[in-house]
Structure formats: structure tokens, C-alpha cells
Structure 1
Amino acid sequence: MINCKNVSFEYEKNKKILKNINFNLPTGHIGVLLGLNGCGKTTLLKCIGKNLTHYNGAIKVEDNCRYIKELPTFCEELTGIEYVEMLLSLGGNHTNDLVYKLIDSIGVKKNLELLIKNTSLYTRNVLVLLSSLCLDSDIILLDNPFSGLDRKSQLLVIKLIKILKEERKTVLIATNLTYFGFDIADELFILNRGKIRHIKNIFHSSIQYENQIMPLLLK
């Protein structure tokens, strides 16, 4: 579970990026944080993941939580599977079976035999997702996991995220690609001008979804 209460953040004095943010994401739910570029989505994820700590307000995270934006440069000379095994050795063996289940479910095992520096953007995004899981995180924070991917790769990432939900992981995804909210979200969080609007994803069609969400993003 993630609970934010009156969370505000500013990089420069009197220039707030986040303004009294309030929302709750229950355990085992998928939340999609929607907003235009530069609206503060990454900043909010960093606050939740404790990468940024000088915020005002309170953030309560019931379970292990980690924000990983990209792979560290030192791992470029490792194969994908070597990187996964290294992280599993650090995180204990609680999630080993789930990690290998995910790898098998999307057929990425062969890709992980390559050096990371030679892998595709899709494989790197999968490794970023697996990084938190390998370190035994119950809450997964994903920052633009669909950006730059073709539709086939995007659908495979969605498949991964849905498996995480089946395993009772809590997932919060920041993206500016609005249609993913309809595809996978239980809870929608619209971030605009530093403030957040929470909407349950109970839309019956993508048209109904777009008609309600787009005005909130653009106003």
C-alpha cells in the first residue's frame, strides 16, 4: 500500500512541483500516474521510493519499495542473466521462483544471455522491472516503461505487470501515454499543475475513458 498525505515538493524556493498531493494505492493494485512531460511524475516516484527525501507531508509505504529508473553503468559488461542472479543473491531467495516465472512467461531468456550493452531497449526495460523484484520489493515503481517500445514489446511489458498483480505486488506506473491507463490500471492518478486527481478505472470503453481523462490532462 502507498499512502501520500499533503505531499509537496520544490526544487527551487517558491516553485512547487507537487502541491499537497493526496492519494492511496491499495496493496495488490495497479496504479497508473498520468501526466504531461515535466509535470512531476518522476519527482513523485522518487519521493515515494525515498530517492528524494526533502519533501513536505507524509508518505506511508507498508511494504518494501524501490525506485529504479535505469540500469547502473557497471552492469553493461554482464549478461542479463548474470545481472539478475547478482541481484537475487543480494535480495535473498524469496522471489527467485517468481523472477524465473516472469522470464519464462515472456520468452526473454535468450535475450538475457547477451551482454547488457548489446541488448534492446525492451530487454533493458524488463531488467529494470525485474531489478526491484529481485531485491524483494513488494511495491514496484515504474517510470515510463513503455516509452520507445514497439506495440509488441509494450504488450509483453503489460503481461509482466499483470503477472505481478496476480502475485499481489503493488505497481505504480508513471507514463504520458494515456491509453495504457485504460489497458491495465485499477486506479488512475492524473497529475496536472502540481495537483492530483484520483479516478477509479471503471470505464466501459476506451472512448469513454479518453473523453473523461484527456480534459483533465490538458486543462
Structure 2
Amino acid sequence: MIGVSVKNFSVAFGNTKILENINFDVKQGEIVTILGPSGCGKSTILRSIASLHEDYDGDIFINDHCLINNGKKECHKDIGYIFQDYALFPHLNVKQNIEFALYNLKSNQKQKRVDKLLKQFDLVEHRNKQIHELSGGQQQRVSIARVLAYEPKVLLLDEPFSNLDTILRNKTKIWLKKLIKELNLSAILVTHDQKEALSMSDRIAIINNKRVEQFGTPQELYTKPKSLYVANFLNKINVLPNLLLESLNIKISSENVGIIPIGKVEVSNAISTIKAAILDVSFCGDYYELNISLKEYENMEMTVQVKSMQALENKKECYLNLNNEDIKIVRKNI
């Protein structure tokens, strides 16, 4: 069953179009990520679904119920919104913050629901603490518990991990993804972090130039990008010179380009037909990144990855080997 459906959605601020003809849907138990650069309108989509932004064209359906009825926009009770800064009340303790969402329940029902959430979110020992006494991860759990207290069917997440350090961010992503699946929620995540989108999502909508450039599973977008923009946004790639493609018996039209992930380029000191000059070497932990120049192709620069520099140490030149199967042909623009 589809929990959220966005149809022909467009937004303009004054005479400036921000988003145009956006279409996607989210099934129950599914996490759909809206991915794009800062300022492309990702959060505006969430705010419109939550009825916090009302000046848009098109239709938004929540469980087959349109948010616009008889010309009037309505706030749907089945929507939960988790903000980037958690939006907790600093003058209330943990228990009171969660209770705030349950004002319409009787006292005994409220207490039962709060106790369940405190246990579920591992917050029992923190129930009487003030918000400033909690870590960032604990504050986030309180924020999510408060939203889920009134049992929404749709969960909107606006950059929810941006204030967490790397280790806590990874743990929280795993925990939250499992929770969304267990509760069978329709979740929409907004982020500009590619790795976050790939690891969290069932499907991803990539926004570019006011529109959805491509919508599909993480595997589809990563392995079969439709455009240079999508490929470049989800992976580190090199655009290959046409002359080099021709030498590999790959022919392309003027509308397309040939690309290869930086980790798919084999680099060695063994002589081959593709000679390169090493311009710079960067140590990146378990691999090295080399900035190289292809002398025979107008000194075009590329970035490549190698696991070891042992064979290339103190070398100013290297040779490349490219596997045709690793080269993808994509459109320059859609």
C-alpha cells in the first residue's frame, strides 16, 4: 500500500521556480530518500507534505487522502516530522517532552505509552533529565520518541544525523532503519550525504535542475546512472577522453560521455598503451589517491585509487589498464 504520493509538485518563490513537476511515491515500510545539493528544495518538499509550506502546485496524498480538500490545505494527523535540530523543549525534561505529544490521552493511557517509549528507546534512566544533560544521540532519541508517541503512519526526516559524530551517526542509522521497518512506516529522508542515502534507502530520488533526475533503488542508481550528474553525485568517477574511448573500440555520440569509477582504474609500473604522469599522491587510510595526467590526451587529469604505493614509490610515471566492462556510457545532461 502507498503511504505517500507526490504528483506534479511544483514550487516557486516569487518569480523563481525552485521545483518543477516532482513525482514519487512511498510505500508502507519503505524509506525513500530525496537527495540533492544544498538549496535544491529538498526540505521544501518535506515541509509541504507536513503542511508547513502551503504555497505549491500539484497534489500530495497521504494514505489516499489528498492534503487539499475543496481548496483548503489540511495538516494530516498521520505525519511525524523529525527536525534537524530535534526541536525539543529545553524547559521540559525527557518524560515531559514525550508526554507533550499525548495531550489528548487520559493520564493512565499517557503514562503507559510514555513508559513503553522510554523502554523502547533506551531512555528509562534518563526520564527525569533536562535536555541539556543529554548527549546528541540521546536528544535525537527523545525527538524520535516524541514523534512516534502519537503513532504516525508517515515519518519525515530532515537531515536527522547531521549533528552526530561519525560513529554515533552509523549506529543511529542502523537503529532507525530497523525501527521504521518494524513499525511499517512510510519514511522520507532528506539528505545531501550520498553514503547516507545509499545505506538507508529502499529508493532514492535525485534532484537536479528543479526536477527528479532519476528515481530508483540505490543499486540501480549506482550501477546504472542515466546521466553524468547522477553518476558524479553518487560515486567518484573519471570522465574519459573520446580519443581514449576510441582506442578501446568504444564509440559514443556527442550527447554522451564515457565514465569509470576511480577505483576501477588499474595502475602499475608495467608498460601498457596508456601512459600517465603522477602529479600528486594522497594517503587516505587503507588506500592512496593519485592525481595523474594523461600526456597523450591533452594532459587530461584523472583521479585513481591504489591499495599500495610499493610498486610506484618514487615514480613520476605510471601506466593504466582499463577494463571495457567497467566503463559506462551516460548522457551529459537529461
TM-score computed with the length of structure 2 as normaliser: 0.56
| Contact residue 17 and residue 40 of structure 1 kept, 8 A | yes
Structure 1 residues 124 and 22, CA gap change in structure 2 (3 angstroms)? same
The worse-fitting range, judged by mean Cα deviation, of 50-59 and 115-124 is 115-124
Q: Report the equivalent of 1:84.
A: 98
Query: Does structure 1 residue 102 correspond to structure 2 residue 120?
Result: yes
Instruction: State the 1:191 CA deviation.
Output: 1.4
Report if the CA contact (8 A) 2:8-2:23 is conserved.
yes
Contact 2:194 2:233 in 1 (8 A): no
Q: Which residue number in structure 1 is paired with residue 219 of structure 2?
A: 202
Q: Provide runs of 4+ in structure 1 moved above 6 Å.
A: 209-212
- 1:180 paired with 2:196, answer yes
Percent identity among equivalent residues? 25
Q: Number of aligned pairs?
A: 212
Report what 1:151 is aligned to.
Answer: 166
Aligned ranges for residues 41-80 of structure 1 at < 5 Å?
41-62=42-63, 64-69=78-83, 70-72=85-87, 75-80=89-94
| Deviation for aligned residue 1:55 | 0.6
**8 A contact 2:194–2:234 mirrored in 1:** no
Per-residue CA shift, 1:17-61, capped at 9, x if unaligned? 111100111111011111111111110100111111111000111
1:142 to 154, 157, 180: 157
Distance 1:136 1:130 in 2: 10
- Per-residue deviation, residues 140-161 of structure 1 (Å, max 9, x unmatched): 1010011021123212321123
Structure having the larger proportion of residues in helix: 1
Gapped regions of structure 2 (runs ≥ 5):
64-75, 236-332
CA contact (8 A) 1:80 1:115 kept: yes
Contact 1:71-1:124 at 8 Å conserved across structures: yes
Whole-angstrom distance in 1 between the partners of 2:86 and 2:105: 17
> 3-state SS of the aligned residue for 1:5?
strand
- 1:8: Cα distance to partner? 0.4
Structure 1 residue corresponding to 2:185, chosen from 166, 169, 183: 169
Deviates more, 1:148-157 or 1:172-181: 148-157
Equivalent residue number for residue 33 of structure 1: 34
Instruction: With a CA cutoff of 8 Å and minimum separation of 6, indicate the structure with the bigger relative contact order.
Output: 1
Q: Distance between the aligned counterparts of 1:58 and 1:20, measured in 2?
A: 10
Is the radius of gyration larger for structure 1 or structure 2? 2
Partner of 1:115: 130
Counterparts in 2 of 1:72 and 1:149: CA distance versus 1, 3 Å: closer
